[in-house]
Amino acid sequence: MIGAFIDGPFWYFSLGVFCIGVLFRLFSILRVGLKPDLALPRGSGSSGALRNLFSLFLPRRDVATRGRLTLVAGYLFHLGLFALLFFARPHVDFYAERITGFGWPALPYWGFIISAEIAFIGLLLLWLHRLLHPVTRLLSTADDHIATGLVFLVMLTGCLALAQSFEPLRLLHLFLAELLLIYFPFSSLMHTFTFAFSRSYSGAVMGRKGVNA
């Protein structure tokens, strides 16, 4: 009975909370609008926004040198998680069955293992840095640790479910993923969507001021 609930109504409920919550947060940001800039522009805000949006994927040399650990760990985690989310065979089959109605080529088993290890290494390094670095520890909130812990547990149970082919583990993995979907719109995990807004806004402001930042 619990399994049917997790596989059915709770899945649709968590997906609904995720979609409505994300759209509401994005709408709230866009509704605020922009303050009128009465100063004469010294440059193009549009080009500044585009430049800032894409150029920050490659940090400046001084930032990359001082923050090498978080830079490498961040790329490891996000790239590994992206591969797992969208190209792990169980996920591709799940999306095809429940959301898209069609599938796409999935990672081979060895690709799944490498992606999982890369994602785990990146996530654990980022979490350790958050716990041990004095400044980052002070800036971190309970939300940061809850979000990290939930992502870690979802990844861990997903790997265990794949290795053991054990139905309770699959249900536990799905249940944790559903909790993560519900928590997502109300947490710092929203940076998955809002980073484009913040980067573009900062770049547009700097661009209008004629600052090549």
Do the Cβ atoms of 210 and 42 come closer than 8 Å? yes
∠ CA(138), CA(194), CA(78), 5° rounding?
A: 75
CATH class of 59-209: mainly alpha
Looking at the predicted structure, is the pLDDT value of residue 193 above 80? yes
Confidence (pLDDT) at 167: 84
Residue 7 DSSP SS3: helix
Give whichever of 154-163, 168-177, 201-210 has the largest mean pLDDT. 168-177
Q: Cα–chain-centroid distance for residue 117? A: 17
Q: What is the CA radius of gyration of the chain?
A: 20
Name, in order, each residue with C-beta under 8 angstroms of 54's C-beta and a sequence gap of 6 or more: none
pLDDT digits (tens, 9 = 90+) for 98-142: 999 999 999 998 999 999 999 999 999 999 999 999 999 999 999
Tokens 């812990």, residue located:
149
Nearest CA among 77, 97, 55, 96 for reference residue 147: 77
Q: What is the mean pLDDT of residues 90-95?
A: 92
Give domain limits for the chain.
Answer: 59-209
Looking at the predicted structure, is the pLDDT value of residue 84 above 90? yes
Q: What is the DSSP letter of 41?
A: P
Indicate the average pLDDT of the chain.
Answer: 88
Do the Cβ atoms of 87 and 109 come closer than 8 Å? no
Confidence (pLDDT) at 164: 58
Confidence (pLDDT) at 198: 86
Looking at the predicted structure, is the pLDDT value of residue 3 above 70? yes
**63: confidence class by pLDDT, cuts 50, 70, 90:** low
Confidence (pLDDT) at 163: 63
Residue 50 DSSP SS3: helix
- Residue 77 Rama label (left phi>0; alpha psi -120 to 50; beta): alpha
* Rounded Cα gap, residues 110 and 113, in angstroms: 5
Looking at the predicted structure, is the pLDDT value of residue 169 above 80? yes
Structure token digits, residue 25: 């947060």
Confidence (pLDDT) at 38: 74
* Rounded Cα gap, residues 189 and 141, in angstroms: 13
Looking at the predicted structure, is the pLDDT value of residue 154 above 80? yes
Tokens 């996000």, residue located:
78
* Rounded Cα gap, residues 180 and 147, in angstroms: 8
Say what the pTM is: 0.85
